[in-house]
Amino acid sequence: MESKTEEGVIVALGREPLDAATLAARVRSDACGAVVMMVGVVRGTSDDGRRVTGMEYEAYETMALRELREIACEARSRWPECTIAIAHRIGDLGIGEASVVVAVGSPHRAEAFDACEFCIDELKARVEIWKREHYADGGDPRWLENCTHQR
């Protein structure tokens, strides 16, 4: 699941549950004054108000992992004191399960927040991970747009 590309960058894609605390610990060091995380979880209500029973995530894994790595490396080049971790889950997930975690360790909070926001926004805009909602009303599952950030 994990691919470490260079010092200060950790990316992962896989079917195992994501452990946000472990990723936070991986980006934290004694030089850090801040660890910022964004954890995306499967929610129980769709954008149109229907009750959701779960989500399914698919990806062309090699391509998605390569793009996650590129985003993390871009963030690291913009905020060189930060340590960046990006992990995304694929497969079937239930309500409340983490689908994505971005964790950033940095000497200062502003850079950590900026790098974290950059990573999740770029992930949503660039990484081809497809998601399909499943509904409690028995309606057909629906593929959703991944891009929610306007550039």
Residue 16 has pLDDT above 60, yes or no: yes
Task: Read off the pLDDT of residues 23-50 as tens digits, 9 standing for 90 and up.
Answer: 999 999 999 999 999 999 999 999 999 9
Q: Distance (Å, rounded) from C-alpha 62 to C-alpha 67? A: 9
pTM of the predicted model as reported, rounded to 2 decimal places: 0.92
Q: What are phi and psi of 146, to 5 degrees?
A: -90, -30
All domains of the chain in start order, with CATH: 2-144 (3.90.1170.40)
Average pLDDT over residues 117-132: 97
Residue 5 has pLDDT above 90, yes or no: no
Q: What is the pLDDT of residue 2?
A: 52
Q: Scanning the structure block, which residue is given the tokens 């991986």?
A: 26
**What average pLDDT does the structure give for the chain?**
93
